[in-house]
Structure formats: C-alpha cells, structure tokens
Structure 1
Amino acid sequence: MMKPPRRPAPVPGLSLKRQLLLWLLLPQLVLWLAGGVLAWRVALSYAEKGIDQSLTQSVRALARQVKPIGSGLLVDFPRAAQDVLEQDPTDRMGYMVSSPPGSFVLGNGKLPPPPAGLLIAAGEPLIYEAPLAGKPVRVALLEVNYGDADAPQRLRVQVAKSLAVQQRIAHELVADILLPLGVLGLLLGLLMYAGILRGLRPLKRLQAQLGDRSDRSLTALTPIELTQAPQEVHSLAAAVNQLLDAVRRSLSQEKRFINDAAHQLRTPLAGLVSQTELALQETELQALKDRLAKVHAGALRSAHLVHQLLSLARTEAEVSLQPLDLAALAREVAREWTPRALAAKVDLGYEGEDTLTVLGEKLLLRESLNNLIENALHYGTAGAGDTDAGAGGATVTLRVLRQGGEAVVEVEDNGSGLPDDDRPRVFERFWRASELPGGCGLGLAIVAEIAQRHGGLASAHAASPSGLLLRLSLPLPVHLNFKA
C-alpha cells in the first residue's frame, strides 16, 4: 500500500517585529523620497525665479548703456561692468547687442535667437530657454526702438546664463532640506524600533508563560496572568485562557468518566465472571439456567450502567439550545412509558400546559424526562401497594407548568418518599437510597447535569400526602417571559 505524499512543513512568515518595521519604515522612506523630489522641483523653481530676476536686471542695465545718437549707437560699456558679467569663469554670463536684431554689434559671443513665433514687444523683457554650445542656457531679451520717424530702427540686447547655477542652487537647497530630514528620519526609525521592542514585550512574556507549560498535567492549564499589557494582548490572553479552560474541563470530564466507569463496572463485571465460572461447573440443566439468568441480569445492569455513563458524559459537553415545545415532548415521552407503567400496574398520567416553548436540546431533555419517569416507576411506587392503578394503587404524574419566568417539569409519585435528610442527596452521583436491583445511582445525577446545562435547577420535595416530587425548572425565553 502506497503511503500518501507527505506535505511540506509550512514555512513561517516574517516575524511580527519585522512586519511592523517594514510597514512603518517603508512609508517613511517613500515619503522621504517624495519629499526629496518635491523639494528638488521647488528648489529649481525658486532658483529659476532668481536667475530670471538677475537676467532681467542685467539686460535692462546693459540696454541703458547703449544710447542711440542720430542714426548711430553710442555704447557706454565700461570695463568694470564687463568684468562683473564675466567674473565667474566656470559660469560666464553671455551678452550680445545686435541691430537690427540678429546682426552682431557688441558682445562676448553670439547668443541664440528666441523661438520662432514669439511676439516681442519693445521695452518688455522676454525670458526663454535655448541651447548654446550643446548646453541649455537661460536668455533674457530686450528690444528698444530708436532712430528717426522716417527711418525707424530696433536694437536687441540679450543676456544669457547657463542652468548650471540653477542646478547648483537647487542642489544646495535640497541638501539643506533633506539632510536634517534624513537625520530626523533616522532618529524616528530608531525610536520606532525601540517602541516596537517595548510593545512586543507582553507577547514575549506570553510566549514564555506558554513555553513553561511543557508538562502535560492539568496543573499546566492554569490561566495565564498578564498584569501589565496592552488591551490586544489581554484579549489574546483571555482567548487562550478560555481555550485552556475548555481543555481543562474536557480533560477533567474524561478523567472523571474513566474513573466512574472503572469504579462502577468493576463490580458487575466481576459478578459476571464469577457467575460464568460457576455456570461452567454446573452439570444440571436447571442450575445452569439459573446461573445464565443471573449472567443475563448482570449483563443488563452493566449495559444500563454503560448507557448511563455515556449519557452523563454527553450531558457534560456543550449544548446547542433550540426552541422546542416542552409540553409536547413530555406527552410524547409519557406515551412511550405507558406500556411499561401498565405492566407494572402504575397509573402514569400527564397534567399541565398544552404547549410551552423553551430553549433546549431535545435529546438531553428527553433523556432527563426518561430518567425522572424511570426513577418514579422503579423506586417511587415501592410503598404504594399492590392494587391496580385504577383502584387507588401506585400513581406517577408528569406535569409541565408555567411558573413566573420558568418552565417547570414535575414528576410526582405516591410511594413512601424519602427522609428530609436524604432528599438533597438524590442528585449525587452513585448515591442510592434503596437497595432495589436495577439502578446505578446516575439517573438523577444526569437530570441535574442537564438542568445545569440549560441554566435551570433540579430539586426534590416531599409529595402530599406521601411520595416524592422531583422538579426540573428551566428559564423561559425572554419574549415568553415578558408575555407571561
């Protein structure tokens, strides 16, 4: 037979600390880069405005130095002004005077003309960008009219400056802005890392507390205590405590069931073994039949005990409550027990509500009704006489009543009853007030457990004039309680 392929072990993901750092530092890095790009664009814009203002002033000043005289030009451009324009060898400011526009008159180089299609107004500076010797430059242009009315002429003055200054200014501004932001971001990252480490300490303590529970005893399932921790960790610890409590209850129930089963099955099984050994030694047929009858009775008692133990274990599990008609269920159970009651000459009757809705688990409530009626038929009619049911003999009455905000189930018999001191003990496990064969002392304990699982209560009372009254009280749903 081929073995199924083994699934690969799950690969653990990133730790919570790394995920927090990733989700906190990554947006910070993205914002820092976006801020750098924005700062670069803003710095370029401001540098461009500064260069344009400087070029505008320079072109106006140069235009004032060129004075028209008649049909000619007088250029009053001292050497000092030329030195100012050319003071930076790495970033010289170019200038050019042309008249008519485009015909070189004066300057330190030929400057590019403005883009075609631009309307140039006399006396208004124009700023544009154009290539010069393979490098982009910023050019300020100013045109001035001169000459006679009969022979008008136009003078063009241009001043250019490379964009290297603009980029250098932008770099300086960006460096001055981003360097402090980078230092602050680094400090913020360190603070966030320290904060994450401190915030994860409760999880470390929780891990340590769970890791210390290496043994498998019930003492390792005690609740986790975290006195100082965030609300989320307290919620996690509370959820773990609920799980530990459920596991502890389950283990306790399992251990108690095993102990009860081992304790209660030991005696009947020993009796079965001894009876079968004696039956094997019998030679007479009648004696053998008697032994086998005892074996059969012991087997029935053992089967009944196992059934009760399993029912008790089932009642200790979580129940799912659903709306059901308790009165209809009680009448149905009473009809099922009627043949046995007639065979035992017991008058089994029903009294009470025609319909009464409760929240419950139908299988468990049926089990509790069966146990109450069986207990009354088995023990409650022992002292009621041997007359027929119709002639004032043994009676068992099943009632379903509404009392205030509760649904009450009562099973009353007219037997000899129980002393006042024994009535509180009828719901204890394996306690029996009678030595009559057939019982195991678990039926009423199951009834009490079912009542508790439904939020109710089981109690025992003296019947009038004699007998025992067993009562099962269950809470009614809120809307039925209000209606009542």
Structure 2
Amino acid sequence: MNKLRSLKHQMLLSLSLPLVFFVVADSVLSYYVTQHYVNETYDRWLTDSAKSLIQEIRVRQDMVSVELPPVALEMFKWDEEDKIHFKIVSAEYALLAGDAIVPDPPLQVEDWSVPVVYDASLNGEPARVVSIRIELRSGAEPVFVCVAETKNKRRTMMRDFLLVDLVTQLLLVMLTGFYLLAGTRHGLQPLQVLAGQVARRSPRELSPISDIETFIEVRTLTDTINDLLGQLRQAVETQNRFIANAAHQLRTPLAGLKIQAERVLREPGAIAYAPALLQIRDCADRLSHLTSQLLVLAKSEPIKGGSELEPVDLHGLSREICMEWAPLALQRQMELAFDGPGHPVLVAGDATLLRELLGNLLDNAIRYGFERGNVSVVLQEWPQPKLTVSDDGPGIPDSEIGRVFERFYRLGPGTGCGLGLAIVKEIADLHRARIELGRGEQGSRGTRIEVAFPALPAGAAGNAQASPECCSSK
C-alpha cells in the first residue's frame, strides 16, 4: 500500500536534518575549543605558580634547599574547589620539598626549554600537572619543579561555557525552526490557493485557472492543469455538438414520418393497416420526445459558471408553464393548481432551462398520475425559494428513489424515455439547487419533488412584474 507523503513535511525534514547536523558538529567543536582555552588559562596559572616556587630554591655549598615559610605554603595550596600539591625533586627524583603524591616528570621529554604540561592522577582524581626543569648552576644536577591541581574548576568553567553555548544554540535552532516553518507555509501558499480555486469550481466550469500571482514553479502546474481543462472543454463541446446535431437531424424525418402515418390513416382503405400505422405514429411521437429530451440534456451541460446566470422571476415563469400544461391535464381530467406568493420571486438561473425543469416535473406528474387526479405546484419564498410539484399517483417505491435520477432509467412500461428526472437533476445542479424526492400530500401514495434554489443576493436584480396568485385547470 502506498503511503501518503506530505510535501511540507518532506521540505521541513530536508531542511531540518542539515540544521541538526550542523548543531551537533558545532557542539562537538565548541567542546574541544572550550577545553583548549580553559586548559590554556589554568595551565598558565599553574606555570606561574611553579615559577614562583623556583624563587624559593637556594644552593649552599653544593646543596640544594627550599626555603618556603609555612604561611606561604598555606597560601600556595589554598583553593576552594581544587586540591593543589607540589614537589621539588632532583634529577634522580630525590624529593627536596613538597608532596610525594605529585606525579614525577615524564622521562620521554626532550625539550625542557618550555614548561611541560600533562594529565595525571592525584590520589585517584584527574589532575593537571606542570613541570619545569631548571639548571641552578653549571655542572650541577638539574632540579624539577612540579605543581599538580585537580580539575574541578576546569570542569565547572567548561560546564558554564558549554551551557551558555548550548542555550544560545537552542535559541538559534528554535528561531530557525520557526523561520523554516513560516517559510515553508509561505512557499506552499500558492499551492493551497490553487487547491482552493479548484475546490470552489463547479464540475462544469472548465475555464482556465488564473496564474497571475503565482510563482514560476507553480505556474508550470497551472499551465498543465489549464491544458487539461482545455482538452476536456473541447471534448465536452464536441460531444454536446454531436448530440445537438443528431437530435436536430432526427426531428425533420420523424415529423415527416408522423405526418405520412396520419395521412395514410385518413385514407378509406387503410382500416386494415390502422393498428400498424397507429403504432408507427406513437413510436414517432416517442422518438421525437426522446430527441427533444436529448436536446435539453445537451443544453443543460454548457461550459459556464454561476456568474452567467441571470435573475429570473420564478413566480411568473411557474405560473406561465402551468397554464401551458393545463390543456394536457384537462385531457386526462386532472386538476392542475398553482400556488405562489403573488409577487416576483427572483432566483439566479437560466429561464429556458428552468422552463424545461418545471416542464419535465409536470410531464411526469401528469403522465404517471391517476386520471381525475390532482397535480399541485407550490412556490415558497422563505427562507429560500423552493418549488414543489406533487401528485396523488401511485408514487415511487422507496427502493427506487435513489435511481430515478439516472439517465434512461424507467420504473416500468410507459411512453417515457427515462430522461425527464435526469434532466431535472442536471438543471438543478447547474443552478446549485437542492432537489429532494418524497411522498405526496396523501402520505402513503403520490410523489412530491422539491427543488430549493439559493437565495439571490440583495440588490442583484431589478424590479419584476407581479403575477396572479394561482391558476387552475379545473
């Protein structure tokens, strides 16, 4: 299974790893640098202490002696943190003065022109020792002055220096981390803006994405998406043109076929062929209805966004369509009633497509309702424009409600082509309207279809003429 990868996390990881490496390397380097300068500072002090002891060495009658008063010795060894010991020995390491626990000078040293500093152990504790070799007089044996000191002060100073350096580095890492996080978010902002633009688009809005304020790297992505949108737009336009042209080309021969069938039916000798001619005429009607529905379906899929929709008076439009369908309802002895608020109800839409939406709802209600039944069209204005078409026919089974909006799906035998409610759904989606299907007013039977439209922003349309409150085919 492929794991999802985050570009932001990948960028932060790629930038953080070198930062951590540099911080660790700097910490190690700081440790050795601090150790060097701390040792150099205290080694210089030890060397000065050893040189001060040299002044107390005396030579009398070829005998070497050390004259160090007890008070001076106490001051020399006084220290709050470390233990300080010294010893003065001859070339044969014979102890002349001091403490025997002080380590002897190293034997492998060849150059004694400078003090020799080395690490040793003093009563089991790490210590630092400085040794100086002196020639009291020509021909006399050399004398070594050794001063040893434990490393408590050195460790304390190193800890203080490293702590200050570590705090500084932690602050630097935190500031750098915040900067990297902010920089990563800022760098990925164009991608988030692009994702928002794509997410807010309607499925039918295939116009190019704006790349005016994007970076060059992001513009490469937008150009690729725009190329894909262009190809998709051309494919959809080609498909719509094909459907529209095919439907238009079918209309003329179908009309001619229907006229010829009716003409033959009027001939005196056509009684024997009447059933076949009537079947031909009905098939021509159904095929003509199918082509008309295909035309509407093709028109309901234009490549345009909601900005091209115009204010439409849904009240006046609904009343007008109800009056157009009243004769067909009368043929089936059905009552068609319209109820509205009595004044214009404006929605953002396409008047032609809204006529087809309500026309298809009325066609279904009248075609599949019971004779001498009732069909009602109700328009509500508050809290949002809502158009409801209901009948008292057999209704739609609950198991089929989820499929009736599919193209070419039919509940049973009839003269329909299975595109009516599919067209209603397409037009509703184009207008960003919510469509719901349920039982009729009787509760146990009938069908009720509600189409709720988004409210039109205030001041988006001018005044419209009021229309009568209701119409009826009764």
Alignment TM-score, normalising by the size of structure 2: 0.49
Report which structure shows greater RCO (CA 8 Å, sep ≥6).
2
